[in-house]
Amino acid sequence: MIITQNITKYFGGFQALKDVSFTINKGEIVGFLGQNGAGKTTLMRILTSYLPATSGEVIIGGKNVAKDSLAVRRKIGYLPETPPLYPNMTVKDYLLFAAQLKDVSPKQQRFQADKVLGECNLKDVRDKPIAVLSKGYKQRVGIAQAIINDPEVLILDEPTIGLDPVQIIQVRNLIKSLEYKRTVILSTHILSEIQQIAQRVLIIKSGEIIVDAGLKDLLSGKGSNLEEIFLKLHSVQED
Predicted local confidence at residue 46, as pLDDT: 94
Residue 223 lies in a domain: yes
Residue 183 lies in a domain: yes
Question: Is a pLDDT exceeding 50 seen at residue 51?
Answer: yes
In three-state form (DSSP H/G/I as H, E/B as E, the rest C), the secondary structure along the chain is CEEEEEEEEEECCEEEEEEEEEEECCCCEEEEECCCCCCHHHHHHHHCCCCCCCEEEEEECCEECCCCHHHHHHHEEEECCCCCCCCCCEHHHHHHHHHHHCCCCCCCHHHHHHHHHHHCCCHHHCCCEHHHCCHHHHHHHHHHHHHCCCCCEEEEECCCCCCCHHHHHHHHHHHHCCCCCCEEEEECCCHHHHHHHCCEEEEEECCEEEEEEEHHHHHHHHCCCHHHHHHHHHHHHHC
Residue 194 lies in a domain: yes
Q: Which of these ranges, 1-10, 58-67, 147-156, 160-169, has the smallest mean pLDDT?
A: 160-169
Question: Is a pLDDT exceeding 60 seen at residue 28?
Answer: yes
Residue 127 lies in a domain: no
pTM for this model (two decimals): 0.86
- The CATH number linked to 51 is 3.40.50.300
| Mean pLDDT for the chain overall | 89
More confident residue, 81 or 77: 77
Question: Is a pLDDT exceeding 50 seen at residue 237?
Answer: no
Q: What is the average per-residue pLDDT within 8-13?
A: 96
Domain count across the chain: 1
Residue 227 lies in a domain: yes
Q: What is the pLDDT of residues 206-232, one digit of tens each?
A: 999 999 999 888 888 655 688 888 888
Residue 6 lies in a domain: yes
Residue 162 lies in a domain: yes
Q: Which domain, by its residues, includes 51?
A: 2-83+153-238
Residue 195 lies in a domain: yes
